Amino acid sequence: MNILDKIVASTEERVRRDKLVGLSCMSDTLASVPFRFETALREPGFHFICEVKKASPSKGIIAPDFPYLDIAREYEEAGATAISVLTEPDFFLGSDLYLSEIRGVVDIPLLRKDFTIDPFQIEQAACIGADAILLICAILSASHLTEYIKLADSLGLSSLVEAHDEDELRLALQAGARVVGVNNRNLKTFSIDTGNSARLRKLVPDDVVFVSESGIESSEDIAFLRQNGINAALIGETLMRSKDKKAALAGLH
């Protein structure tokens, strides 16, 4: 069983437990302005989605000291367009609590970074204050992708639909994705190829927002993405390992 299969199996068990508890949704956590995430990414210029992440399966503990509220504030002050918050608890040491508390201290859109495999998680994302969800083509069927995008739309949530190769990208577009994320990391082997986004960019219509994910470390990487018509970068480890996140983000421009 590869790491992605293990994460999915763990997520299935977590969703089963969460369903037993049910949703306790506060009205003020629901998106008051629909589709804030994709609207922000459609503004002129290159955009940065900065990630709040304590650990990963490939790197282990990334941030032993994890003042997630301070990190989120730093990102907003540094000019991030949006913040991605890891909520997967077993492999990334994330928590829904991180996102719900960050929602209370920043105004920019929040992406719930998790492994969405059930409609319950989409409703859950709305309840904890997310503006967007992650849908991963590698773990979802075509029918589920379409269904989940429609459910997210009904709740005013944007969907970042993640693909790694041409087949997955076609699947995302056929499902109606308005924001695609091309992962430069192979989720089965965790190897990284930062040229992956550039190769796949030509397959995506101009009216679809294109986000490059993983392995982005330098201003040269950002310049390369800009040159290839990419709209945004999702950056996690590079910023999380930096003691001065404002300076690190400024250095990527």
Q: Is 38 a known active-site residue?
A: no
Q: Is 162 a known active-site residue?
A: yes
Q: Is 183 a known active-site residue?
A: yes
- Catalytic residue (one of 38, 162, 168, 237): 162
With 0-12 / 13-18 / 19 or more C-beta atoms within 10 angstroms meaning exposed / middle / buried, residue 167 is exposed
Q: Are 138 and 4 in contact (CB under 8 A)?
A: yes
* Maximum CA extent, the chain: 49
Q: Is 95 a known active-site residue?
A: no
Report the C-alpha gap between 54 and 142 in whole angstroms.
Answer: 31
Task: Kindly state the tokens that stand for 22.
Answer: 């049910």
Q: Is 77 a known active-site residue?
A: no
- Catalytic residue (one of 84, 159, 212, 214): 214
Q: Is 51 a known active-site residue?
A: yes
- Catalytic residue (one of 53, 76, 88, 197): 53
- Catalytic residue (one of 84, 158, 159, 183): 183
Task: Kindly state the tokens that stand for 248.
Answer: 């690190």
Report the C-alpha gap between 48 and 37 in whole angstroms.
Answer: 12
Q: Is 53 a known active-site residue?
A: yes
- Catalytic residue (one of 213, 231, 237, 245): 213
Closest CA to 89 of 55, 49, 122: 55
Catalytic positions are 51, 53, 113, 162, 183, 213-214
